[in-house]
Amino acid sequence: MDNADRYSALPLKDLIKIRLKDLGITNIQMQKVLGYQRPNVIAMIKKGGMRLPEAKAIITADLLQVDRTFLMNKVIAENNPELWEALSMVMGDKLVTTNELALIQFVREGLNGHDADLMGAYEIGKTIAPALADVLKREAALAAAALVRTDS
């Protein structure tokens, strides 16, 4: 997956619009992949007039070349915020994106098999919080730039 994660802050309709453009995928191509009878359904999704059904999230993630968990999270959170809140409470530790898993692997390798209480005993949150704030600021700027870009 290329830098598709840079669109994390975007509403789903904008993420879909931009990823289709990035990848050169037409509404008709997406309509066929998702199994819709008419391409105007894709136009409606891109305009926000229709929501992407949860059942279409995985195939859409694959088509748009974005992380499946990330897109499913976004679809459920936008379509049904109450359900997303409940799922997050029950399964939040299971809903891990590829990027989040890479961070977990990095920590595991760095600790060489030790299970240290990084958040409590070592207060890593205080150390990492400024870096996360910088990343969040950068991601928000990239998302805003993606919305106003004028290329092809």
Domain spans in the chain, listed from the N-terminal domain onward: 7-115
Q: How confident is the model at residue 136 (pLDDT cuts 50, 70, 90)?
A: confident
Global pTM? 0.71
Q: Indicate the range of 25-39, 43-57, 135-149 predicted with least confidence.
A: 135-149
The answer to whether the beta carbons of residues 19 and 66 sit under 8 Å apart is yes
Side-chain-side CA neighbours of 1 within 13 Å: the count stands at: 18
Q: Which of 3-12, 30-39, 78-87, 93-102 has the highest mean predicted lDDT (pLDDT)?
A: 30-39
The H-or-E segment that residue 46 falls in is helix 40-47
Q: Is the dihedral of CA 59, 65, 69, 70 positive or negative?
A: negative
Class for the domain spanning 7-115? mainly alpha
Rounded distance, CA 48 to CA 14, Å?
9
Residue 152 has pLDDT above 50, yes or no: no
Q: Please give the residue that has the higher pLDDT: either 130 or 122.
A: 130
The answer to whether the beta carbons of residues 20 and 64 sit under 8 Å apart is yes
Mean pLDDT rounded to a whole number for the chain: 85
The answer to whether the beta carbons of residues 144 and 138 sit under 8 Å apart is no
pLDDT for the residue numbered 93: 73
Residue 6 DSSP label:
G
Residue 31 has pLDDT above 80, yes or no: yes
Residue 22 DSSP label:
H
